[in-house]
Amino acid sequence: MSDTIFHKILAGEIPCAKIYEDDNLFSFMDAFPQSKGHSLIIPKCFATDLLDADPASLQHIINFSQKLARAQKQALQADGIRVVQYNGEAAGQSVFYYHMHLIPMWAGKTLGSHGKGAADLAELRDTADAIRAALTN
């Protein structure tokens, strides 16, 4: 399968609010965020899900997820970060390209519904800029 939305984002066919990129992974803002700063991390080497992913790629993603979570907390003053990952349709996976969600959380605030209308790309890019700046600190 090479026609997922994530393939198209990596190919530059669909615009996104990029946070970070290296030789192994790509991180960007979720276009349908559940909270401000809801971010995704995907490997550049395609894998359908966790069970299909290369262990070295997973290790790189986990290491980066810690850095990204710290940057989200700093940039957005989040009280916590929810890390979510689905494997298979029965588990709730809807894009069949391995990805990890990092969702900033605030005490007393409930999450929005995922997929209920796209966020404004300019606002997503502003948030991505703030998170990216915190990554370098």
| DSSP per position, 58-95 | HHHHHHHHHHHHHHHHHHHT-SEEEEE---SGGGT--S
Q: How far apart are CA 119 and CA 128, in angstroms?
A: 13
Please indicate whether residue 99 is annotated as part of the active site.
yes
Torsion over CA: 122, 34, 57, 80 (sign): positive
Q: How far apart are CA 16 and CA 101, in angstroms?
A: 15
Start-to-end CA distance of the chain, whole Å, equals 38
Tell me the two tokens of residue 87: 């494997």
Query: Please, how many CA atoms are within 13 Å of residue 125, restricted to the half-sphere of its CB?
Result: 5
Catalytic residue among 38, 99, 101, 114: 99
Q: Which residues are catalytic?
A: 99
